[in-house]
Structure 1
Amino acid sequence: FYAIGQQDGLELHLKEAPKNDDERRHRRANEHLDAAAGVEGIEEFYAQCRANGATIIKPLTATPWGTKDFYVEDPDGYIVCFGGRPGAD
């Protein structure tokens, strides 16, 4: 299962959750993400997540395709990627 939805400037990518601990370990080692969301103002959003104590497991990093992204782990252990186009310098 994989789905993409968009509303009010947020693009959300979802895939089926692991059904057991073995699947979760496999995903963490090989697939890395449970969900991904595109946001406007990625630098500001990253700063807000850090200020609010989010568990950042991959810091904000430029991608080869011109965006920036970072990964957080939620309280249930799911890994979510947030990404977007960087602001103008």
Structure 2
Amino acid sequence: MLEAKIGGSFMRLNKASQCLLVSDVGRSQEYFRDQLGFKMEGQFVDRDGVSFLIKKAENKELIRPNHTVNGFMESYIWVDDVDIVYDDLKARGAILESEPINQAYGMREFLVYDPDGYRFCIGSPIK
């Protein structure tokens, strides 16, 4: 953990939130709340310490999910049991790409999208 000593006391970095530029803030916040189980905290959505800042894009060209540029996802979200999370998100009507898959690198994971096409990989170590 990164700590810096300032004036005899330590300062820690506690949390980071990725900023997602979206076409409709209300729609995105509702999706994160209703389909992904996040809580809304002002312009942030948060679930179990995973948070995103939801901001309105000034124009649609600013909405560029990573997978449309380089094939990757916006975030990798580690969970205790990927199958339980998958079942929860499926029951909520989340936009899912596939069921959880065991990967050769020892993770079991699936992909979930938001309404603007942002892609998140959710996974846990294979049991």
| Shorter-chain TM-score above 0.5 | yes
Instruction: Number of aligned residue pairs: give it.
Output: 75
Structure (1 or 2) with the larger CA radius of gyration: 2
TM-score (norm 2): 0.46
Unaligned residue ranges in structure 2 (runs of 5+) = 1-14, 17-47, 53-59
Question: What is the rounded CA distance, in whole Å, between the counterparts of 1:74 and 1:26 in structure 2?
Answer: 13
TM-score (norm. length: structure 1): 0.63
* Matched-pair identity in %: 23
Alignment partners' CA distance in 1, 2:61 and 2:95: 20
Q: Which runs of 5+ in 1 are unaligned?
A: 15-19
RMSD: 3.1
Compute the displacement of 1:73 (Å): 0.6
Q: Which has the higher contact order (CA 8 A, sep 6+)?
A: 1
Partner of 1:75: 115
1:19-68 deviations in Å (ceiling 9; x for gaps)? x6498377326323111110001111111111111100233100102220
Displacement of 1:76 in angstroms is 2.4
Contact map agreement 1:11 1:38 (CA 8 A) in 2 = no
